[in-house]
Amino acid sequence: MSETTTPHATERDDFQATSDPALLESADRGESQLLSYRQLYQLWERQQWRTQDLDFSQDRVDWHERIPPDEREARMYGLSSFFVGEQRVAEELGPMMRAAPTEDMRIFLCTQIADEARHVAFFDRFYSEVGVLEADDLSGRLAETSEHLNPEFGEMFDEALKRRVDRLAARPEDLETLVEAVTIYHMVIEGMLALTGQHFIIDYNQSVGTLPAFVEGFLNVARDEHRHVAFGARFLRDMARADTRYADAIQRSMAEVLPLAEGVLRPKWADDLPEDEEIFGATLQETREFAAKALGRRLKVIGLAPAA
């Protein structure tokens, strides 16, 4: 109705309830009110939603009649990264859940597997109801949309993360590898890449008034991701306090994948764009700063210095 800027969704009580350090200024001072694994599970019970409730009819009109073809093509990078990314993480989480050392951790990670499945279903519904692609089933849509991804995406998901999860599947007692996998999955992929992309994609759609059902569902996805990242921060803090070996594992895996994260944040078609050129309302520089600030706050709460 009005054009005034509404406060960002992350200020809402339900987002704040996740206790993700990135949403709390107090985290800059290293103060944390991280929830316990049991509290995170209980929050999951209270934060359910259904992809079936979303009505994509206006989104369909927007996509085909209001968004110009070149902008549709440019938007495909962000959308594909999420659709394929959700499917990849949903597949990798099983061995991580099994390797988690306590019952409360495993129960929370079971809820996260259900969430990631719902996120895949959300994107699948968006793509099929809006008519974004030619393919007519989930695996066809995933294959078709994968063409928009860049090489760093493959290195992050199919190499850095998958290699560790494969190791965990064979040796679930290997806690150091679990710490590395959670660092890559919860801190980098969800915390830096997904939540940064979501922030800017939601803002852009709201500012130009497009894809209302997509925005509604994507906000639910974002709230789930903050809850997942809050679990990751709690887990890594507990592990880092238990043994410096685990703190080293966090730093080591981060040093390996941060350069890849940088590449994933840059769309394939934006390779030659200058740093200060705006893409959908934000420059690459702003996107990177947003991701770095979120990571810095979480690392402070975990008890580690932000990566240089």
Q: How far is the CB of 290 from Fe ion (least distance, A)?
A: 18
Q: How far is the CB of 111 from Fe ion (least distance, A)?
A: 11
Helix (H), strand (E) counts: the chain:
13, 2
Q: Which is nearer to Fe ion, 119 or 141 (CB)?
A: 119
Burial pattern 212-225, b for ≥16 Cβ within 10 A else e, equals bbbbbbbbbbbbbb
Please tell me whether residue 227 binds Fe ion under the rule CB under 5 A.
no
**Nearer to Fe ion among residue 177 and residue 220 (C-beta):** 220
Distance CA 308, CA 273 (A): 25
The count of other CB atoms within 10 Å of the CB of residue 37 is 21
Q: Residue 116 Cβ, how far from Fe ion at the closest point, in Å?
A: 5
**Which of positions 75-104 make contact with Fe ion (CB under 5 A)?**
86
Considering the rule CB under 5 A, would residue 228 count as an interface residue with Fe ion? yes
In the chain, the amino acid numbered 152 is E
The distance of closest approach from Cβ of residue 225 to Fe ion in the complex, given in angstroms and rounded to an integer, is: 5
Supply the minimum distance, in Å, between the C-beta of residue 191 and Fe ion: 10
Binding of Fe ion by 148 (CB under 5 A) = no
Least separation in angstroms between CB 105 and Fe ion: 15
Q: What is the dihedral of CA 271, 126, 16, 204, to 10 degrees?
A: 50
Residues 19 and 230 sit within 8 Å (Cβ to Cβ): yes
Q: In Å, how far from its chain's centre is CA 84?
A: 12
Distance CA 236, CA 166 (A): 20
Which lies closer to Fe ion via its Cβ, residue 27 or residue 84? 84
Of 20 and 86, CB closest to Fe ion: 86
Q: Which of 75, 88, 118, 119 binds Fe ion (CB under 5 A)?
A: 119
The number of beta carbons lying within 10 Å of the beta carbon of residue 89 is 25
The distance in angstroms from the start CA to the end CA of the chain is 44
Question: Per CB under 5 A, which region of 20-28, 118-126, 144-152, 266-274 contacts Fe ion?
Answer: 118-126
The contact set with Fe ion (CB under 5 A) reads 86, 116, 119, 190, 225, 228
